[in-house]
Amino acid sequence: MAATNAGPVRWSWVPRALAIAFALFLGVFALDVFQEGYALGPLLLALLMHLVPSMLVLLALGVAWRWSRWGGWLFIALGAAYMAIFWHPARWPAYLIISGPAILIGVLFLLSREPGQGRPD
């Protein structure tokens, strides 16, 4: 892309950086397994289970890095799936903290597409 049209290129990095930060944020919740007093095997299994949300976000980021439209919809689907799976009317703060960033990142990926970008390969 030419230097004169650097705006869309710069804005295409915003959802990517936010997705990396969101994966790191979700990964922080996995640190509580170290306080449980598990043996090594159960500790690694618990750590793996706690890191599944971060892995899903990184998987969606990998898709969105190559195909921003598909990745954008995937992030929106992740946010909607969290609300659908853990639905309870009193949990709206959790929806804002977990689903909100995922949906925002998805929308930003959809908006960051270049005007001439056609269907993904």
pTM of the model: 0.80
Q: Is 37 left (phi over 0), alpha (psi -120 to 50) or beta?
A: left
What are the residues whose beta carbons fall under 8 Å from the beta carbon of 41, sequence distance 6 or more? none
> In this structure, which amino acid lies at residue 67?
W
**Chain centre distance of CA 22:** 6
- Structure tokens that stand for 89 in this block: 């009317």
Mean per-residue pLDDT, 94-121 = 80
| Structure confidence at residue 117 (pLDDT) | 55
Rg (CA), the chain: 17
pLDDT tens digit sequence for 42-98: 889 989 999 999 999 999 999 999 999 999 999 999 999 999 998 888 888 888 898
Instruction: Judge whether 109 and 26 are in contact, CB under 8 Å.
Output: no
- C-alpha angle 45-51-53 in degrees, rounded to nearest 5: 135
